[in-house]
Amino acid sequence: MNFDLVIIGAGPAGMSAAIKAAENGVSVAIIDENPEVGGKLLGQLYKDSKSGWWIGQKIADELGKKLTDLNIAFFLEEQVCGIFPRWEVLLSSGERLHGKYIIIATGAAEKALPIPGWTLPGVMAIGAAQMLTNYHRVKPGEKIAIIGIDPLSLTIAYDMRLAGIHVVGIYLPKKSEFSHMKAEPKQLISYLSNFVHVLPNPFLKLFGKMLKYPVIQNLAITYYPSFGIKVFGVPLHIRKAVVEIVGENQVDAIKVEKVDKNGSANGKMEEVTVDCVCISGGLYPLGEIARVAGCEFAYLEEVGGYVPLHNENLETTQAGIFTAGNITGIEGANVAIEQGNLVGLVISDRLGLLKNSKEIIKAKKKVLLAREEAVISFQPQIEIGKEKIAELWNKRMNE
């Protein structure tokens, strides 16, 4: 089957790109491995102090209706098995889609964070708990511990509280070669300073900006209460780490130990009874399909890991293949949506269907504005990372 544009990934970036392109007369096919569109939007639910409730399911439904109204071709519950020049996409069903242009909007995946006992039934990634709680309306457990402190774990702790779940606390992981910064209170305090302004705790809000300074960080760690500081009604522990998840046939408890400023064991062990443990190891850009297509990659810690090299139009080193969303760096849904809009316009222009090319300039500004106004930055140095990508792109183009 032939299309002007084939989009891989029906999350916020892919859907927005499809809508913007189709509105300009581009024939579009959109592929996703899930039975419905929406991607990570389907599990998102949080309250923004500026704009009120962000209900991902509602936004996904609205975008999905637009896709249907524009007669975009859906290929759901399909996996991409290969991409071949110029450009053919092979699906798991055997279907072959031909597109003049490709957008890879595959989003992000969760990083593994192994902890002794993590294979027990009742242990899950924080994203799984998010989908169970917010989308399927199923409680992951009645008494839950969360391991890993980041915007995702804090948000989902709030969601679970709304669902009537007892979240006993959010803890550090055991210090290991896998946990890195997540197990080090000193680095974690600095990281927290980037988003404490959105946390409903007067103490954290008051000292949030001051936490950027090493002297204040040391004081905060030294005098951090052993019982934690409550955020969304959940104790946040930066001086306690989960060293083991215990149970015979399923999760029964966690073993928690006090740690020093560097995350090393520094106190007695205690056991906390739980029936579920959610592990938050962070996110990384999901770029395997772009690799299959032959796109060049770069590793940048500031954006979350390996990303395809791309220019300001989000076109990769493979001419005609574009990216959008978290595959370009870990950010929020608003940025992904604006990136999708941008790519949809760029491809419309390439096909000679865009009436006013100035719309592209406006779209680029909207991406920057969405990044600037993001309530939470998953990667505090994302702007530095984006500048590095631009430098690497320019260097490659000048070789």
pLDDT band at 209 (very low <50, low <70, confident <90, very high): low
User: What are 76's strand-pairing partners?
Assistant: 32
CATH placement of domain 2-110+283-398: 3.50.50.60
Which carries the bigger pLDDT value, residue 305 or residue 185? 305
CATH of 123-279 among 3.40.50.10210, 3.40.50.300, 3.50.50.60, 3.40.50.720: 3.50.50.60
Domain boundaries, the chain: 2-110+283-398, 123-279
Which carries the bigger pLDDT value, residue 137 or residue 194? 137
Average pLDDT, the chain: 90
Residue 112 structure tokens: 């593994």
Q: Could you give the percent of the chain with pLDDT greater than 70? A: 92
Question: Which run of H or of E encompasses 334?
Answer: helix 333-350
Please tell me the number of Cα atoms within 13 Å of 344 on its side-chain side.
30
Q: What pTM was estimated for this model as a whole?
A: 0.90
Locus of tokens 């024939």:
27
The arithmetic mean of pLDDT across residues 195-217, rounded, is: 58
For 276-332, what is each residue's pLDDT tens digit? 999 999 999 999 999 999 999 999 999 999 999 999 999 999 999 999 999 999 999
Decide if 175 contacts 241 (C-beta within 8 A): yes
Which candidate, 242, 274, 282, places its Cα nearest to that of 165? 274
Which carries the bigger pLDDT value, residue 39 or residue 121? 121
For 87-109, what is each residue's pLDDT tens digit? 999 999 999 999 999 999 999 99
Q: Is the pLDDT of residue 205 over 60?
A: no
**Domains 2-110+283-398 and 123-279 fall in the same CATH topology:** yes
